[in-house]
């Protein structure tokens, strides 16, 4: 990841987070407290965040990185900063919502038995904001689209795209825009294209 100030950040597994600064001469700094790094991002205030698989969420401070309380054992796969400076994290246990200003956990949205519009799976793989909506790829529950895009609510509502309505596989590893109205989805053994306007 390259931050806005030109620093390069490299996440290692099982090693630490490596920071490379360029001020005429390159040098490297290793943040060994952050291990198993799966994703790195920067919030609106220029603060670096790192998601660790098995060691939780970390935020850059003046003297290194601090672990966000309540995330110590979380397995985080991907991070996303929203326009309102909220951090969303795809974890193996649900959708983590963190206030970037305070570092406080706002919510951990999970699959709820009996509520059809909850997440279809707790094992989240990837996140993207596309065409005004949040899309979440899961390991076993296909793709979830957040209805109304309110991740701050207590019971967010999701629409599901899975094998039952045409997705190649319910295991989604990643996705990317394919056109203005289509997402290219990397499933377990194939690619699928989701038309977000038609829901097909």
How is 65-101 classified by DSSP, letter by letter?
EEEPTT-TT-BEEEEEE-TTSEEEEEETTEEEEEETT
User: What pLDDT was estimated at residue 24?
Assistant: 58
Q: How many helices (H) and strands (E) does the chain have?
A: 0, 18
Contact 38, 52 (CB under 8 A): yes
pLDDT tens for 127-143 read 999 999 999 999 999 99
User: Alpha carbon of 78 to those of 75, 109, 115, 174, 197: distances in Å?
Assistant: 10, 15, 25, 10, 26
User: What pLDDT was estimated at residue 145?
Assistant: 96
For the beta carbon of residue 22, count every other beta carbon within 10 angstroms.
Answer: 11
**What pLDDT band is residue 25 in, cutting at 50, 70 and 90?**
low
Tally of CA atoms within 13 A in the half-sphere of 71 that contains its CB: 32
pLDDT tens for 140-162 read 999 999 998 889 999 999 999 99
Retrieve residue 89's tokens: 């994290």
- CA-based torsion, 29, 33, 39, 43: positive or negative: negative
For the beta carbon of residue 30, count every other beta carbon within 10 angstroms.
Answer: 13
Q: How far is CA 14 from the centre of its chain?
A: 20
Average pLDDT (47-52) is 98
> pTM for the whole thing?
0.93
> What CA–CA distance (Å, rounded) separates 101 from 86?
8
> What CA–CA distance (Å, rounded) separates 97 from 151?
7
Which among 138, 134, 148 has a CA at the least distance from the CA of 170? 138
pLDDT tens for 181-200 read 999 999 988 999 999 989 88
């Amino acid at each position: 990841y390259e931050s806005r100030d030109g620093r390069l950040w490299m996440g290692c597994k099982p090693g630490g987070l490596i920071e490379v600064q360029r001020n005429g001469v390159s040098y490297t700094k290793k943040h060994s407290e952050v291990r198993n790094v799966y994703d790195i991002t920067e919030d609106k205030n220029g603060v670096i965040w790192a998601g660790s698989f098995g060691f939780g969420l970390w935020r850059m401070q003046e003297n290194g990185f601090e672990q966000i309380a309540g995330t110590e054992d979380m397995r985080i796969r991907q991070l996303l900063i929203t326009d309102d400076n909220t951090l969303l994290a795809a974890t193996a246990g649900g959708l983590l919502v963190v206030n970037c200003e305070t570092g406080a956990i706002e919510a951990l949205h999970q699959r709820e038995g009996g509520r059809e519009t909850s997440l279809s799976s707790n094992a989240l793989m990837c996140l993207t904001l596309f065409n005004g909506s949040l899309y979440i790829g899961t390991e076993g529950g296909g793709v979830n689209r957040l209805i109304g895009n309110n991740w701050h609510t207590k019971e967010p509502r999701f629409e599901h795209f899975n094998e039952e309505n045409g997705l190649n596989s319910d295991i989604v590893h990643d996705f990317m825009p394919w056109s203005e109205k289509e997402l290219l989805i990397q499933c377990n053994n194939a690619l699928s294209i989701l038309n977000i306007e038609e829901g097909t």
